[in-house]
Amino acid sequence: MLNVGLTGGIACGKSTVSEMFIRHGAHLIDFDQLAHKVEKPGQPAWGKIVQYFGESILLPDKNIDRYKLAQIVFADSQKLKTLNGIVHPYVSNEWKTLLEKIEKKEKNVIILSDVPLLFEENMQHLFDLTLLVLISPAEQIQRLIARNGLSRDEAKKRLMNQMQIGEKARLADIVIDNQKTVAETEKKVEEVWQKLLKIERNKTQHKSREKT
């Protein structure tokens, strides 16, 4: 198994790149989806979030109003840190369970874990290597405005709560530039996929030699 941490700035197109890797045969674990799961009503993370932020963040059906919560935490870095501190341990447990399930079914597998705050939370040590999807900050703001209906100021606030993309690029093992055409991104993904296959084969062979 090759365990790859996939990250990027907000609105950088990680989902599009992930789909390209899935078509090549990769498995994907989405940390945002895991967070949604552990934040459902009745789950431990839900209770702690409501206890800290109050019931005003709830919709009539008791689900968390994610838009309202986002407005709160992206305006206050300490509250964002608290939210991440509540949710992360539960997401981590779900992730480890999924890794084990996938590896039991398929030994020589490449698993991409889409982790938005991979570098911010210093999670590099959890992965064999890290992969960054990159676009310029100006393009991120434009995409956020178009995708989420945010004002320019709101989009900038969200960007400010993440590590600068240049710093992420220095930390990443592999970088995919997603600012060009879809065809160019697909070509880069194909190149990276072949590299990942080679790394996974070498890892498997090394483990086999250790056992003999």
Interval 123-160: pLDDT, tens: 999 999 999 999 988 888 988 898 888 888 888 888 88
CATH number for the domain spanning 68: value is 3.40.50.300
* 38 in a structural domain: yes
Question: What are the residues whose beta carbons fall under 8 Å from the beta carbon of 118, sequence distance 6 or more?
Answer: 5, 6, 7, 124, 130
* 152 in a structural domain: yes
50 has pLDDT over 90? yes
* 105 in a structural domain: yes
211 has pLDDT over 70? no
* 67 in a structural domain: yes
Residue ranges in 55-181 assigned as alpha helix (H): 66-73, 77-105, 137-148, 152-160, 165-171
212 has pLDDT over 60? no
* 21 in a structural domain: yes
* 212 in a structural domain: no
The larger pLDDT score, comparing residue 147 to residue 112, is at 112
List, as own/partner pairs, every contact residues 186-192 make where C-beta atoms lie below 8 angstroms and the sequence separation is at least 24, other chains included: 186/20, 189/17, 189/20, 189/21, 189/24, 190/24, 192/131
32 has pLDDT over 70? yes
Q: Are 179 and 136 in contact (CB under 8 A)?
A: yes
* 199 in a structural domain: yes
Number of domains in the chain: 1
209 has pLDDT over 80? no
* 51 in a structural domain: yes
pLDDT for 151: 87
Q: Are 185 and 131 in contact (CB under 8 A)?
A: no
Domain assignment of residue 172, given as a range: 2-207
Q: Are 116 and 161 in contact (CB under 8 A)?
A: no
The chain-wide mean pLDDT, for the chain, equals 91
| pTM score, whole prediction | 0.85
